[in-house]
Amino acid sequence: MRWTPKGRSADLEDRRGMRGGGGAAKLGIGGVLVLGLLSAIFGTDFFALVGGGGGGGPVPPADNSAPVATSEAEELQIQFVSTVLDDSQRTWERIFAEDGQQYRRAKLAIFTDSVDSACGSAQAAMGPFYCPADEKVYVDLAFYNELQDRFGAPGDFAQAYVIAHEIGHHVQNVLGLSDQVRRAQGQNPGRANELSVQLELQADCFAGIWAHGMDPRLRGANEPAMEPGDADEALNAAAAVGDDRIQSQSRGGVNPETWTHGSAEMRTEWFNRGLQTGNVDSCNTFGG
């Protein structure tokens, strides 16, 4: 993937020096949804990791920070995250404007080990997540090592896909789609997992839309930002975090009834659909 380092994004928060609030946190509705989805995918009780809080209000960020030493390699990775964040949000600003709407930018917070969000405290084991209550994406940079080592999805474009997917969740939040799904899940609990899968697949498709028209400013040249193999990296990342692949690795079996994100085939199909069309209308995973 061709890109040019241009410093840190104004929408990036470096919270690596802030310690999460530990296991006694209470979760808001957004936090319960996030942890429930991740628990189903990874076969791990993430509620236990953050203290099991199923109710209560948002948890404010901890005000206990310390200076963080950043290596040259880490700073380059932070600037890469910043570049993808800014470019993906420019994409959605343009798409919203074309439809006569205004896009509301998200923030992205990088952290180490644990973090307090408006959805509750979270451990790095959760992986990247989006909190609708504060409209922020949370990423522990160490996850990218896991993406390569555990899930077998190396490459900078695979990393970019993860960010674009989470920004896709923000787009859903801005459009009110997330709230619609939560209401539908409450009205019909039997379809809760099905609706979660549809929401996740749409975020994959939205990530593909960003990849379809990556901004030339990423690389400071007139050449395509995507290099040979980039699409394969993203598709491999989408497949690697499919429910079937993860369940097979962690449990030795696959149970489609518990899926919340979709199979490897489904995830690659919808990412590829957004990548090929660049059209929001092509991302209607809900049908109708």
CA angle (264 as vertex; 263, 266 as ends), nearest 5: 65
pTM of the model: 0.72
Q: Which residues contact 43 (CB under 8 A, 6 or more apart)?
A: 246, 247, 250, 251
Per-residue model confidence (pLDDT) at position 29: 39
Per the domain annotation, does 1 fall within a domain?
Answer: no
At residue 281, the pLDDT reads 93
- The pLDDT score that the predictor gives to residue 232 is 56
What's the confidence (pLDDT) of residue 108? 96
Distance of CA 140 to the CA centre of its chain: 12
Name the residue range of residue 260's domain.
12-281
Predicted local distance difference test score (pLDDT) of residue 190: 86
Asked if the structure places residue 30 within a domain, the reply is yes
pLDDT given for residue 110 in this prediction: 92
Spans of the chain below 70 pLDDT: 1-3, 19-68, 124-125, 147-155, 215-263, 288
User: Count of domains in the chain?
Assistant: 1
Query: Considering the domain boundaries, does residue 19 fall inside one?
Result: yes
For 231-249, b where at least 16 C-beta lie within 10 A, e where not — what string?
bebbbbbbbbbbbbbbbee
Q: Is residue 287 part of a domain?
A: no
- In a domain, residue 25? The reply is yes
Q: In 3-state terms, what secondary structure has residue 78?
A: helix
Q: Is residue 2 in a domain?
A: no
Does a structural domain hold residue 3?
no
Tell me what pLDDT residue 149 has: 58
List, for residues 20-64, the tens digit of each pLDDT value: 654 333 444 344 444 444 444 444 444 444 443 333 344 444 444
